[in-house]
A and B are shown apart, each in its own frame.
Chain A
Amino acid sequence: MAMTGSNKAVAAQQNDPNSFAASVKDAAIAGLLVAVLGFFFIGIRTDIAPGGLDLKMRWGAWIISILVVFAGRLLLNLFVLRTDSPLTRKFADAMPSGTRFAGTGKWLMRALFAFALVLPFFFTTFFPGKDRQFIDLAILIMTYIMLGWGLNIVVGLAGLLDLGYVAFYAVGAYSFALLAQYLDIGFWFALPLAGILAACWGIVLGFPVLRLRGDYLAIVTLAFGEIIRVVLLNWYEFTNGPDGISGIPKPTFFGLELKRGEGGFADFFGIAYDPIQRFIFLYYIIFILALITNFVTMRLRRLPIGRAWEALREDEIACRSLGINTRNTKLTAFSIGAMFGGFAGSFFATRQGFISPESFTFLESAIILAIVVLGGLGSQVGVVIASVVMIGGIEMLRNLGFLQQVFGSGFDPVQYRMLIFGLAMVLIMVWKPRGLISTREPSVVLKEKKRIGADMVAQGEGH
C-alpha cells in the first residue's frame, strides 16, 4: 500500500515494515551501529607522539560518518529495501535476464575476443597519450584472467578449494628468475620449464593433501602458499630474500630484442623504435598464453578427464564406484592448474624485470580465488568479466584525481582502493552468490544443448 515518502506513509500503521517511520527507525539503528563501530576508529586516532602515543579526536568525522550512513540507509530503505516498487526492479527489468544473458555468452565471448585481439592498436590509435598506461593495465588484467582460468580448473571444475594458488605463481616466477640468473636461460626456454616445475610442485604438494576434504584442504593449501613465501623470503643465499631478484631478461621476438638501435626489433623490420612496442609485444605474449590456457581447458572439459573432474566435484563416492581413480584425477587437476600458474608466473617475472616475495602474498591467492568465484565457478567468460571488473576497477581508482577537488587535497583515492575492492567482493557475492555467470554448459550433447542452472551444480567438497 503505502506510497513511500509521501504523507500517507507517515500516517501508516507503526507495524508496517514499509512505513516511513519504520524506515527511519531502521536507519537510526544503522546510524547508532556506525556510532559504536566508528567510535574508536573514526572518532579517535592514535598517533605516535614524542614520548609515546597520543590521541587525536575527530568528532567531526565521526558525526559525519554517522549522518552519511543514516541518510544512505534511509534512502535505501525508502527506494529499494522497504518499498513495494523498488528502483532496482526497474533496472532488473531493463537488464537482460540471467538465462538470456547466458545465451548471449557465446557472442559476448566472440566480441571480447575480437576486442582483445586488436586492443593494443585500439589504444594506440584512440588514446595515444595514455596508451602505455592502458596497455599495461590490459596486460595486468590478462595475467589475472590467465591465473583465474588456471585456478578455475582446480576450484571450478574439480571442486578443490585451493587457497594457496599463488605458490605456483611464485614457483613459476622464481623458476624463470633463478634459471636466468644462474644458468642464463632466456624467457622462451624457461617458460615451459617453469610450467613443468610448477606442475611438479603441484604434484608434490597435492599428493599428501588431496585426500583431505573441503576446508581442511583449503587451510593446508593456504599453509603451503605461506611456507613457499616464507622460504623465498628467508633463503637469502639462493633467492636473495626480501631484496628479490632484479635484472630478469626481457623476452625476445624470435631472437630479436625489443630495444633501441642496432639489432633490435624495430631496426630489423625497419620501423621507428617506440617503447610502446615492448608493451604491445608483452600484451600479445600474455594474450596467447591465456588463449592457450583457455583452449586447453575447454578441450579438457570435453575429454574424459574433464568430465571426471566435474564428476568429482559432484560426487566423489559415485566416481569411485565407477572406477575413477580419484586421487590421480585430483592430482591432474591440481598439477595442470599449477602449470598454468607457473606460466603466468614466469611471464610476470619477465614483465616486471624484478620479483620479490612481496608479490606473492595470500592476498594474491584471495584475489584470484575471488575472480573465479565472482565470475561463476567453472565459467570461462565469468573469469574474464570478473577480472575486468575487479582488477580494472581498482586500477581505475588510481585515476580518480578529480575526487581530490571534491574532498580536499588530503584525500587520496589510492588509499581507498583495497577498501573498495573488499567491499565490492562482499557486495557482488551477496548480490550474486553463484557468481556472474552461473550456468553450466554440458560437455556433450545428444540432441539439444540445454544450459544447466547453478542450483543443480554442486560446488565441490564439503558442500
Chain B
Amino acid sequence: MDAATTMKNSDQSTPNWDRDPVLSVEHLTMRFGGLVAVGDLSFNVGRGDITALIGPNGAGKTTVFNCVTGFYKPTEGRIVMRHGPGRQQDDVETLTDSGQRWKTTGNGAVYLLERMPDHEISHKAKVARTFQNIRLFGGMTVLENLLVAQHNPLMVASGFSIGGILGLPSYKKAQQEAVDRAVYWLEHTNLVDRADDPAADLPYGAQRRLEIARAMCTKPQLLCLDEPAAGLNPRESAELNELLKYIRDEHKVSVLLIEHDMGVVMEISDHVIVLDYGVKISDGPAEFVKNDPKVIAAYLGVDDEAEIDMPEVREDLAKVTGDEPAKKASASKPASAAKKQGAAEKKSGSASKKTGATKTSAAKAAGAKASAAKATKPRTSKSSASKPATSKLAATTASSEKAAAPAAPKTVAAKPKTAAKPKAAAASKAAPAASEIKIANAGDYPGSQPHGTKKPRAGGANNLTRVKGIGPANEKKLNALGIWHFDQIAAWKKAEVQWVGSYLAFPGRIEREEWVKQAKVLAKGGETEFSKRVDKGQVATSVPGKRGAQPKKKTTAKGGKA
C-alpha cells in the first residue's frame, strides 16, 4: 500500500475523478438474500465528467444506480455526494460520524445518499435519474411531465397550495418561470412541437429524450442515465451524444450513465468503470478500458472457453497457468479479496482511497516488469524460493490487477500464438516439480484451499473438461492447484468450493453448475449428459480428445481413474 500511496503522491496527473469527485461510492455492497448483486464496489464520479458504468448483463449496474438514487438501501457502504469542489474529506468524515444525512459546508454541501430517502436524493442532493424502461407520466402532456419535475420549488411558490388556491400572483409568476424552463429543455431535446401531446404518444426516441429533459428540470448536479441509448437509431444516438455533451459543457452537470452501446460510451465518456458480477474489474479513461484484457474477458467470457483468439488473453492465460502466484494478482479479483484490500487502505488513511486507475500509469511500468519476471521465472528457475518474492512484488506494485494485466501480455507477445499451448503444458509439468502446491495468498480467498497433489496419479489426469463448466483454461488452473482427478473435485466440501470459486474469480458458479455432483458421477466412471456430448466432440469449449497435447493423457483417463 505504501508503494501505491507514494506513487499517487508523486503522480501529478491524478485524474479529475479523484481530485474532484462529485460522487464517491465507497465499499458499496448490495445483497438480495444470498445473492451478492454488488460486492464492495468503490468508484468516483468526477465533477463535470461523463462517466460510464458498463458491464455485461446482470453485472449489477442498475443495482448501483438504484443504490445511488435511493431506491435500494445498500447493505453496506457509503455514497457521498458533494456539491462543493474537491474531496472535502474532513467534512465527509465529520458528517459520517455525526449521523446526519447531510451537512452544509463552506463550499456547498455534502450528502450521504445511503442515509437519505429517494425523494430527498433528488430534491436535496440534486441527483436526477432516468430509467431503463422509460417511466414517463404517459397520460400527462409533455409539458406537464416537465412541470411535475419542478414540483418542489413550485410547491413552495404556491404556498403549499394555499396561496395557489387563492390565486396569488406570486404563484403565477413561478409557474410561468417553470414553463419557461420546461420550454428551454424542450427546445434542446427537439420536443417543443409536441409539448401539448400526451407523453405516451411520443415515439420511443422522443420518450427517451423527454425523460432526460424531465430529469434536467429538477436542476440536478448529477444526472444518472440508465441506458439512454437503448433502442435508439444511429442518428438519434448521435443526437443523444450531443445532448449529453451539451448538458455537461453548458450546464456543468456531471453525468453517470449505464450504457451497452460502446459507440456512445467510447465517444463521450471521460471515464469508464467496468463491472462484472458486481465487482469492479476496470476503471479508467475510455482508451485504457477498451484495451483492458479483463474487460474483454468479461464481455466475451473467455474464462472457460477454448476459443481464445485474442493473443493477449491467450498469453495471459498461459502466464496464469504457468505461475500461480502471478495469477493471484491478475485474476479479476473476487469480492472478499477486494474487501480486505479496501480495509487495509482505509487504515492507511482515506485520502489514499484506491480507485485502481489512479495508479495505472505508474503501476503499468512496474507491473510490466513484475509480470515479465513472473512470466519467465517458473520456466527458467524451478526454485520455489523465488516465488514469494515475486508474489510480493506483484501485490505491492500491482495491487490493482488491471495494472499488471495489460502490460504483461506485451512482454511475452513476441511468442508465436501457436506456442501458447505447448508452453502451458510445459508449465503444468513444471508445477508438480515444486515441493508442494502452495498459493502464496491462499488466505486471501474465503474458505480453504483444496488438497492438491503434485502429480496426477498413475494413468494420468482425468479430462476435467468433461465437467460442465470447466473449459481448458480452468482445467489448467485446476491442474496448477494440483487438481487432476474427478474424485478430487468430488471430495470438495463447501469451504473448498468457496475457495476455488473465489480463486477462479467466479464465486457461486461451481455450486450453480454442480461441479461436485458431476465429478462424483464421472469419478465412478459414469457419464453425464454433458460428458457424453464432450466425448462425441459436440462441445466446442471442451476437449474431446483430439486437440493439443492433452488428449494422450485424456484417452487413458477417460475410462475413469486409474
Contact = CB atoms under 8 A, between A and B. Distances in A.
Interface in A323-368: 323-326, 332
Interface in B471-523: none
A307 B144 contact: yes
Interface string A308-321: 10110111011111
Contact of B119 (A299, A315, A320): A320
Q: Which of B70, B121, B155 has the most CB of A within 10 A?
A: B155
Contact of A449 (B154, B179, B196): B196
Interface residues of B, number: 50
27 contacts: A299-B165, A299-B167, A300-B165, A303-B154, A303-B161, A303-B164, A304-B150, A305-B155, A307-B140, A307-B147, A308-B148, A308-B151, A311-B140, A313-B139, A315-B136, A315-B138, A319-B119, A320-B71, A321-B69, A323-B119, A323-B122, A323-B124, A440-B139, A444-B147, A452-B198, A453-B198, A457-B138
B287 to A, nearest CB: 33
A296 B166 CA distance: 9
A443 B200 CA distance: 16
A324 B139 contact: no
Contacts, number: 147
Given A321-B118, A321-B122, A304 B136 contact: no
A304 B151 contact: yes
B152 interface: yes
Contacts of B154: 303-304
Interface of A: 296, 299-300, 302-305, 307-308, 310-311, 313-315, 317-326, 332, 440, 442-450, 452-453, 456-458
B396 interface: no
A447 B196 contact: yes
Interface string B131-162: 10001111111011001111110110010110
A299 B254 CA distance: 37
Contacts of B139: 310, 313-314, 440, 452, 456-458
B123 to A, nearest CB: 3
A304 B155 contact: yes
Contacts of A457: 138-139
Contact of A446 (B138, B143, B149): B143
Nearest to A336: B161
Given A314-B138, A315-B136, A445-B196, A323 B144 contact: no
B165 A448 contact: no
Interface string B36-72: 0000000000000000000000000000000001110
Interface of B: 69-71, 118-124, 128-129, 131, 135-141, 143-144, 147-152, 154-155, 158, 160-161, 164-165, 167, 171, 175, 179, 183, 192, 195-198, 200-201, 214-215, 218
Contacts of B150: 304
B143 A445 contact: yes
Given A296-B165, A307-B147, A444-B143, A458 B131 contact: no
B179 A446 contact: yes
Contact of A299 (B118, B131, B164, B200): B164
Given A440-B139, A452-B139, A311 B197 contact: no
Given A303-B154, A303-B171, A443-B144, 8 more contacts: A304-B164, A310-B139, A318-B135, A320-B119, A322-B151, A446-B196, A456-B138, A457-B138
A244 B476 CA distance: 87
Given A303-B161, A446-B179, A448-B196, A323 B151 contact: yes
Given A304-B154, A444-B144, A322 B138 contact: no
B183 A446 contact: yes
A41 B192 CA distance: 64
Contacts of B167: 299
Given A303-B158, A307-B147, A322-B148, A447 B136 contact: no
A200 B188 CA distance: 45
A455 to B, nearest CB: 8
Contact of B135 (A313, A317, A456): A317
Given A314-B139, A314-B140, A322 B149 contact: yes
Contacts of A317: 71, 131, 135
A456 B154 CA distance: 26
